[in-house]
Structure 1
Amino acid sequence: MPTIAAAANASNAAHAVTPRSRDARDYQRVPRVITAMHKDQEYGSHIPPHSHERAQLLYAIDGVMRVSTEFGVWMLPPRRALLIAPGVVHELNMHSTVRMRTLYIEAGAAAAFGPGCKVIEVSALLRELILALVAEPIEYPIPGPGEHLAALILHALKAAETVPIAIPWPRDRRLLAVCDAIVREPGRRHRIDELAAGAGASGRTLMRLFPSETGLHFRQWVQQVHLADAFCRLARGESVARIAAALGYASPSAFTAMFRRILGHTPQHYLNEWRHRAD
């Protein structure tokens, strides 16, 4: 007759060899508060519009992805994650090779995070907790380490710093064409009259549409695009001078002034912080 220890070892071995699903549908009704999925994506790959029963923490330990909903667009470098409420339709585009580490959170537990989407800062602790839960079975034993990891993750998410970087997305087809053009080339000096001509509208019409459709005036909206692109570049370790030049600013100080006015910190602050974490 096998001993209790032998039976436990056999159970652990069974968990270790169980293949890990890469289908998000397999994570929606697991009887656990949080489950974790790892899935790598190739550069240029696209995940079409979809939604989940659970809330999702969309996070990549490497690479940059663009997440789009009918309400906004977010560029996510490492050290940034997007909390997506249950039922929110979203699609993804990979701007590099991406190593995704996604959490699916039971809707009741996720209610504290509010509706819609928000970007959070991924601390070193939260990153390690996510990686540890990914190493656990999808339906991890209770009681056990997975249960404790899930509780710590919920606590870390509630305490996480939110980052006010979102690109509100319009619905008007004319403005959609304009916004697509700006996001594709954030460093180009976009003149409103040229954009209007390409969209089949007048410059005055576009200037009126921006606040009514996005809640931001034209230049404010462009600045949000610049901030999103800057964070991706900072995460790759690019210098402030290089980022300022790439985004069309006259000088690094002009770019830094815009950045600090909106976020309260200089880009160098974030660059130094991320370099310190990487050491």
Structure 2
Amino acid sequence: MIGPGETAGCLRPPVRGLTDEYGAGFVDPMHAHDWIQVLYACSGVMSVVTPSTSFVVPPQRALWLPAGQRHEVSCRGPVSLRTLYVDPALYPDPPPCRVIEVSDFLKALILKTVSFGADYDPQGHAGRVVTVLLDEIAAMPVAPYGVVMPGDARLLRVCRAILAHPADNRDVDDWARVAGMGRRTFTRAFKRETGMGLAVWRQQVRLMEALSLMAAGRPVTTIAFDVGYDSPSAFTAMFRRAYGVPPSLYALP
């Protein structure tokens, strides 16, 4: 994913959009851009990993990436992507990486901005649309699609294995052996680096995966087993504790 004219050192107009179509299994290795990126998937699910956080970006959500943020993008299936490149000069103190909700209005603004192409008059109609676009992005709530990643390579090996297979039910002792650490050392190190214990971290991964699968239209009964629960009722109870409502009432497009 290469930004338009990144070697030029500046963006004029200050926001530009690109359309890309990626096949299942596409991986864009760790890289960074000179500009802020907003990655929006019209359809399909992306995984985006930075050195400190792992995100899942389901359909009708967007990922905000500050300029210079190293990241890797992979596509679980076909992805229809719309990317906005934003001049970092507009944000002297930009927000950190985050997945945001995308309202119908914001979706229309993203698609309209992409349709302007590389050259438009920032002082004309297109420029006014872009101003509203940036205001709408700033107003969107953050969505719960990210988990903190540890810096320790041994713990990172464990976290990547769980992210790849959220239904893996191995216990703390098993994962400590995967990390090549004693149980006590493992549990202390994991909490120090992620801010939570392994069980809570894995639950967040499962919730993140479940929300992604729900957004893709998978039935709750199937999702429950896909993310490692013994029954749909156990999954529903966990989901209700986390979000206050059962999966059937959670607002997804």
Fold conserved between structures, TM > 0.5: yes
Equivalent residues in 2 for 1:63-212, closer than 5 Å:
63-111=44-92, 113-114=94-95, 116-212=96-192
Q: Return the offset for 1:265.
A: 4.1
Bigger share in helix: 1
Would the aligned equivalents of 1:56 and 1:85 in 2 still touch at CA under 8 Å? yes
Q: Return the offset for 1:269.
A: 2.6
For the residue of structure 2 that corresponds to 1:162, the secondary structure is: coil
Q: Residue in 1 aligned with 2:239?
A: 259
Structure 1 stretches lacking a partner, 5+ long: 1-21, 275-279
For the residue of structure 2 that corresponds to 1:163, the secondary structure is: coil
State the Cα RMSD in Å.
Answer: 1.9
Amino-acid identity (%): 36
Matched, 1:214 2:194: yes
Q: Give the letter for the 1:23 counterpart.
A: I
Work out which of the residue numbers 234, 237, 251 in structure 1 matches 2:217: 237
Q: Return the offset for 1:113.
A: 4.8
Q: How many residues align?
A: 251
Q: Return the offset for 1:201.
A: 1.5
Q: Give the letter for the 1:178 counterpart.
A: V
Q: Give the letter for the 1:167 counterpart.
A: V
TM-score (norm 1): 0.83
Q: Residue in 2 aligned with 1:23?
A: 2
Show CA shifts across 1:36-95 (max 9, x none): 111111211111111122211111111111111111000111121111111111111111
Q: Give the letter for the 1:244 counterpart.
A: A
Would the aligned equivalents of 2:11 and 2:87 in 1 still touch at CA under 8 Å? no
Q: Residue in 2 aligned with 1:19?
A: none
Q: Return the offset for 1:112.
A: 6.3
Instruction: Please give the alpha-carbon distance, in whole angstroms, between the structure 2 residues aligned to 1:164 and 1:273.
Output: 13
Structure 2 stretches lacking a partner, 5+ long: none
Q: Residues 139 and 263 from structure 1, CA distance in 2 versus in 1: closer, same or farther, beyond 3 angstroms?
A: farther
Matched, 1:56 2:40: no
Would the aligned equivalents of 1:130 and 1:153 in 2 still touch at CA under 8 Å? yes
For the residue of structure 2 that corresponds to 1:178, the secondary structure is: helix
Q: Residue in 2 aligned with 1:268?
A: 248
Instruction: Please give the alpha-carbon distance, in whole angstroms, between the structure 1 residues aligned to 2:123 and 2:117.
Output: 13
Q: Return the offset for 1:111.
A: 4.4
TM-score (norm 2): 0.91
Instruction: Please give the alpha-carbon distance, in whole angstroms, between the structure 2 residues aligned to 1:221 and 1:67.
Output: 17
Structure whose CA Rg is larger: 1
For the residue of structure 1 that corresponds to 2:110, the secondary structure is: helix
Instruction: Please give the alpha-carbon distance, in whole angstroms, between the structure 2 residues aligned to 1:63 and 1:183.
Output: 18
Q: Give the letter for the 1:32 counterpart.
A: P
Show CA shifts across 1:184-209 (max 9, x none): 11112121212222221122222112
Instruction: Please give the alpha-carbon distance, in whole angstroms, between the structure 1 residues aligned to 2:122 and 2:236.
Output: 49
Q: Give the letter for the 2:210 counterpart.
A: A
